[in-house]
Amino acid sequence: MSRKSPLVCEKKTLYHQGVCKVGKSKKLIQGINSNMRAINKLIFNPGKAQVDPELFEAVILKDKIHHFNFLKGRTRIQAIGDWEAPENERYDEEKNVVVQVQFNDTKTEKVGKELTKRFKKLNNDLIGELLLYTRTIPIEETSL
């Protein structure tokens, strides 16, 4: 079965890890796919002004790591986390994965801000975490 995008399965379905998920509208699927392509472009096709090395990190439940498979490259680190939700609901010994991707940012950190915004949208449209923790970190020296 050929697809225009690696995520589109059939009409009103979403493709993830070989599974078609029913219930997503075609417009939403197109928006998710477009957002994922834009994220990869920001990270892996830097413009001339993108000269400052940075590290993008996201912390995600281990069960939801497949949502990051669209990235062309990434490092995954197993992690255990504890946290308390705003409603005083406690989460202890939660199995997480830290996803890391190095990218080049502009002097004004435009790319890092855009990545954070796009991952927030991806979380709202697809991942569904109460809070998807993301951040960017300056890299002083790198071999890449």
Task: Let me know: does 90 contact 84? Beta carbons within 8 Å.
Answer: yes
In single-letter form, the type of residue at position 43 comes to: I
Q: Which CATH architecture has domain 13-138?
A: 2-Layer Sandwich (3.30)
Please state the pTM of the whole predicted model. 0.78
Asked if pLDDT for residue 11 goes beyond 50, the answer is no
Rounded to an integer, the average pLDDT of 78-87 is: 82
As a whole number of Å, the CA-based R_g of the chain is: 16
Asked if pLDDT for residue 14 goes beyond 90, the answer is no
pLDDT recorded at residue 41: 95
How far is the CA of 62 from the CAs of 5, 95, 96, in angstroms? 25, 6, 5
pLDDT recorded at residue 120: 95
Rounded to an integer, the average pLDDT of 82-103 is: 84
Q: Rounded distance, CA 25 to CA 21, Å?
A: 11
More confident residue, 61 or 83: 61
| Residue-range domain boundaries for the chain | 13-138
